[in-house]
A and B are shown apart, each in its own frame.
Chain A
Amino acid sequence: QKEVEQDPGPLSVPEGAIVSLNCTYSNSAFQYFMWYRQYSRKGPELLMYTYSSGNKEDGRFTAQVDKSSKYISLFIRDSQPSDSATYLCAMSVISNFGNEKLTFGTGTRLTIIP
């Protein structure tokens, strides 16, 4: 069993719809939770970074963390064609060296249809 599970999709929704992306995890030691967006032939770009359970909002994006259920979500409101990308969830523990060691989901490919 993978430590982080993410539905690979693909997911297609019409422009303006609300998008929900989800990941589950099994390692209760994970402390930080992130969502990255990756456009084709580009590197992952950080969207959201959170530590605690609950919601964090940034513009049209809301990240939700439920540590008791080991479940995180990313909601995109008023989706735009420019949101079409692969979305990666990531979670981290602090290593013995003090840095964050990330474990990534496999990514969900999202297409917003104009």
Chain B
Amino acid sequence: NAGVTQTPKFRVLKTGQSMTLLCAQDMNHEYMYWYRQDPGMGLRLIHYSVGEGTTAKGEVPDGYNVSRLKKQNFLLGLESAAPSQTSVYFCASSPRRGPQHFGDGTRLSIL
């Protein structure tokens, strides 16, 4: 059982470039989430989805977009990467009532 899978695991971008991070879950969970983790800041919610075709903003949404075209996938996009977006990005999923399960993260550096 793979759980939550994130691709890619590592990426280096130049300022202004765009990219998409992919999250896939095989637990048939309704809800999916994108977080970023920075030293001293903890995990902060970027965007989340409560179902296919539905997304909502979290605590730090600026500079990011998301899409959930299929229940099992949740994509996080950076349209014009900035050095402040250098971070470790985690995807999570959960059932309607229950704890969130996390992937192993994507380490993103913006030069």
Q: Chain A interface (Cβ within 8 Å of chain B)?
A: 4, 8, 32, 34, 36, 41-46, 49, 88, 90, 97-102, 104-107
* A-B contacts, 9 listed (Cβ < 8 Å): A43-B92, A43-B102, A44-B43, A44-B90, A49-B98, A99-B31, A101-B48, A102-B43, A104-B43
- Residues 77-111 of chain B: 1 if any A CB is under 8 Å from the residue's CB, otherwise 0? 00000000000001010101111111111000000
Decide if A98 touches B50 in the complex (CB within 8 Å).
yes
Question: Taking chain A's interface residues, is the majority helix, strand, or loop, or is none over half, making it mixed?
Answer: strand
CB < 8 Å: which of B30, B48, B56, B104 contacts A42?
B104
Q: How many residues of B contact A (CB 8 A)?
A: 26
Question: How many whole Å from B93's CB to the nearest CB in chain A?
Answer: 11
Q: Chain B interface (Cβ within 8 Å of chain A)?
A: 4, 30-31, 40-45, 48, 50, 56, 58, 90, 92, 94, 96-105
Decide if B42 touches A44 in the complex (CB within 8 Å).
no
On chain B, the residues within 8 Å of A45 by CB distance are 102
Instruction: Given A43-B4, A43-B90, A43-B105, answer yes or no on A100-B41 (Cβ-Cβ < 8 Å).
Output: no
Decide if A99 touches B42 in the complex (CB within 8 Å).
no
Instruction: Given A100-B94, A100-B100, answer yes or no on A8-B50 (Cβ-Cβ < 8 Å).
Output: no
Q: Across the two chains, which residue of chain B brings its CB closest to A48?
A: B99
